[in-house]
Amino acid sequence: MSIFSGLFNKSKVVVSSINVKWRGNTHSLGRMPVNGKTFEISIPFQNKPQDDYSFLKAQAKPPVTIKNIVVKEPFKLVSVTPTVPASINENEKTIFKVKLEAPQYNYEGPLDVELISEATDLVHVEISKIGLKTPDNSIEIKDKPKIMDVSRGQVFKQNLHLYGAVNIGTEIKKIEILPPFTFVSSDPKIPFKIDNKTGFLIDIYVQAPQSNYGGPLEITMS
């Protein structure tokens, strides 16, 4: 991911890791010595959905705009090619060539880089718990809180274990989710019947809200 070159620099600079942050996630690379006053790293970027649910897509998503690239001290940003802001269409790839200036003193530590997108692209979602109502029972599914930054209206997958909520032989004909979420689809698709123990495991596909949300995910099956 990185290419470096530059002028002679008497200071000893060693990058212990290159940390590239994007939408709350950080991708790290290994150790890299810097042999010049200026050097260059290459950051490949693909506008790829977090999950590929192509069978659910009704229309193409708008491009992602990289508004800025921020480099933390002690390094200084010299230039970026292609220039930012830059728009990347869905599934399109590009490589940002980032030219940096190294500190003029001995340094060994991380190089932190962040790709900044338009603030309107993302919503912050924290699902504290999952409530499930079925014809047989009402339960709270025990799971770790789900915390994510997703595009507005993005579809995400939620695994469900129906043991204790649905009896063998029960048929599920309809699934509803309370706002601000929207039910999109399920695997298996409705209608389906719980006819054996493996049938307790299903996936549902949920559309994320249009604004930040913190609270439960309430699901009703009938």
Q: What is the pLDDT of residues 51-67, one digit of tens each?
A: 555 555 544 566 888 99
Q: What is the model's pTM?
A: 0.55
pLDDT digits (tens, 9 = 90+) for 144-164: 788 888 778 888 899 998 888
CB atoms within 10 A of CB 177: 17
Res. 76 pLDDT band, cuts 50 70 90: very high
Report helix, strand or coil for 119. helix
**Which residues, 6+ apart, have CB-to-CB distance to 12 below 8 Å?**
106, 107, 108
CB atoms within 10 A of CB 32: 17
Alpha-carbon span 132 to 96, nearest angstrom: 45
Helix (H) / strand (E) element for 41: namely strand 38-46
Domain boundaries, the chain: 13-117, 122-221
